[in-house]
Amino acid sequence: MRVQMLGLCRFSYVGLRGYQVEHDSVAARRDYLYDPQRLARRWLWFTKVALPAWQAQTDPDFTLVVMTGPDLPDPYLSGLRDLARQIPQLKLELIPPMDYHLAACKEAVLPHIDHSADVIGHFRHDDDDAVAFDYVAATRKDFNRVKALWKTTERLSLDYARGLMLKAGPDGVSLTPRICHNMGVALTIFLRPDVPETALNYDHSKLPLWMPGVAVTKPLMFIRSIHRDSDSGDMGPGLPWDVKGQQLERQLQRRFGFTLDGLNDLARQLG
């Protein structure tokens, strides 16, 4: 079965609903998202944390749709246009403000569905999180192992649950190893190509209501960032796992290309 890996990353999209931090009007939402200092911080998160691993995926056969508004201020809109020209997998979608967030996400994602694929692996990715270099390759391999389960309902979630919670402050970062199920990052939802739905159709915290799920608890697959601009600053439920010192440094470098010194420097830049 041929699987298309198709993701959505929202970059300061001005629209109502769909986030934990809500606003009463599009104007209030725009003022919040387009605050110059906030945009500068989000750009650092996106380009220094989220983007590097997508550029270095061991399996480059995927599409990542970056969704923002047509009035995103420069230099950020120009910067996204440049990145879309440089990175074949990155597709920029400029979606005007919409009252219903799910409809906006569909407008961004559905034009990129490959209807010749047998299955679409939908994923969402926040602009301040990171996945490991082999996320796409591992997802394809593991889906092939459980595709018989997908065939029973033609809906299936595949959750890479082992991650690091990165808390960033003015003095640097702290990293908490956690096994967290259905966090939203490194989580793939497999649907037929003719189904007009995306990963955003399903509340990731309630996925068992709609589909069977498979949790893969090794290897380390994601970093979730928690900071003052996070939509949710809650670490959420999970189980601890032990990694520290030089072993943690090796995992950061091998899985994501990061160093602890580099992450601390980024946190200090972010203030």
pLDDT for 17 equals 59
- pLDDT given for residue 16 in this prediction: 67
- What integer pLDDT is reported at residue 228 of this predicted model? 72
pLDDT of res. 231:
61
What pTM, to 2 d.p., does this model score?
0.94
Residue 232: which CATH number?
A: 3.90.550
pLDDT (0 to 100) of residue 25: 83
Integer Cα distance of 77 and 192 in angstroms:
32
Res 39: pLDDT: 97
User: Which pLDDT score, from 0 to 100, does residue 68 have?
Assistant: 98
Residue numbers of the domain that contains 26 = 3-270
Diameter over CA atoms, the chain: 50
Q: Which tokens go with 242?
A: 């032990």
- What pLDDT, on the 0 to 100 scale, is given for residue 22? 63
- Listed as ranges, residues in the chain with pLDDT below 70 are 16-24, 230-234
The tokens for 102 are 């799910």
User: In this predicted structure, what is the pLDDT of residue 20?
Assistant: 54
Q: How many domains would you assign to the chain?
A: 1
pLDDT (0 to 100) of residue 15: 81
